[in-house]
Structure 1
Amino acid sequence: MPVGWLDRFAWKISRTRVEALVAESHEKATFLFGTVENEVDVWDLFDIVVCVVVDNQTLRDRLLTRTTNAFGKNPEELAAALGRNDGVESTYRRFGAMILDGTRPATEVADAILAAANRRIVHPSE
């Protein structure tokens, strides 16, 4: 990945759009998945932030074997993804995120996310 590439092409989230999602969701749970360069700019809008972590070998295997996306197959992209992965868990812990083991089966991870969301939802009738 060339120097400065992320400055030009990084995925960024729109605070205005997330605020609109919050306003539209009312009492329904709304989930956003993924990571973007400026995500800390919108974390205050969420009731809970979850970080699904995997070790570098698992990440490498998943990036190199998936068929739905080519990102990570290029050596520079793979190196960047692995380099970012090294500090992800500690960064998210510092911000108070719930940490989940992404090497567990996907259904278990999804169930843990839903359980965490259900504990956070406050129902007006209660």
Structure 2
Amino acid sequence: MGLIYVTGASGAGKSTVLGELRRRGFVAHGTDEDGLARWYENSTHREASMPADPDRRDDDWYAHHTYRLPPDTVRRLAAEVGDDIGFVCGTVGNDNEIWDLFTSVVSLSVDATTIRRRLGARGDGFGSTEAEVRRILAWHKNVDADNARFGAVLVDATGPVSEVVDRVLASIGTG
């Protein structure tokens, strides 16, 4: 089956889906949870740290940094999975470099109200400031159309996690 990319807007439920996939016994990695993706400074391409203080994560900081999943990391995980099935759950700014390294891409689709509610429950993580929420919602306006245009299968992620994961598995022909 290969390596499957589960992506979507911030607040779509990728981390929750990751936990449920693991609970069901699947090999599943999180771009955030497992440190697969990292922030990079755009002009130098050097790794950078995201400011812990939400007030320092302003438009200027985001304009100069990109959250990236190195293609070599995806290749390594795909080789480890081989003909079995594995998942990478997350969203990154260099999708154009990595999508073709996955067997399939599934995009979790949710409405803006759900995103706002889920982000509000996060605490001080990404999406905790109003500026970040606005940025996420602006991206969200096009994420389904963009992901579908590039071949992702859209899966409704507004229900209970068990149902969402059932839909993810059905969309790739397993489960």
TM-score tier after normalising by the smaller chain length: 0.7 to 0.9
* Count of equivalent residues: 118
Counterpart secondary structure, 1:31? strand
**Alignment correspondent of 1:45:** 101
**Alignment correspondent of 2:159:** 104
Cα RMSD (Å)? 1.8
Mapped pair 1:32 → 2:85: no
What does residue range 63-82 of structure 1 map to in structure 2 within 5 Å? Answer: 63-67=119-123, 70-82=125-137
Identity across matched positions, percent:
34
Gaps of 5+ in 2: 1-56
Deviations for 1:66-95, whole angstroms, at most 9, x for unmatched residues? Answer: 35x632221111111111111100001101
AA at the equivalent of 1:111: D
Q: Pick from 102, 112, 115: which aligns with 1:59?
A: 115
Q: Pick from 73, 85, 89: which aligns with 2:140?
A: 85
The structure with higher relative contact order (CA 8 Å, sep 6+) is 2
Q: Report which of the two structures shows the higher radius of gyration computed on alpha carbons.
A: 1
Q: Which runs of 4+ in 1 moved over 6 A?
A: none
Higher strand proportion, which one? 2
Q: For residues 143 and 97 of structure 2, what CA distance do their matches in structure 1 show?
A: 16
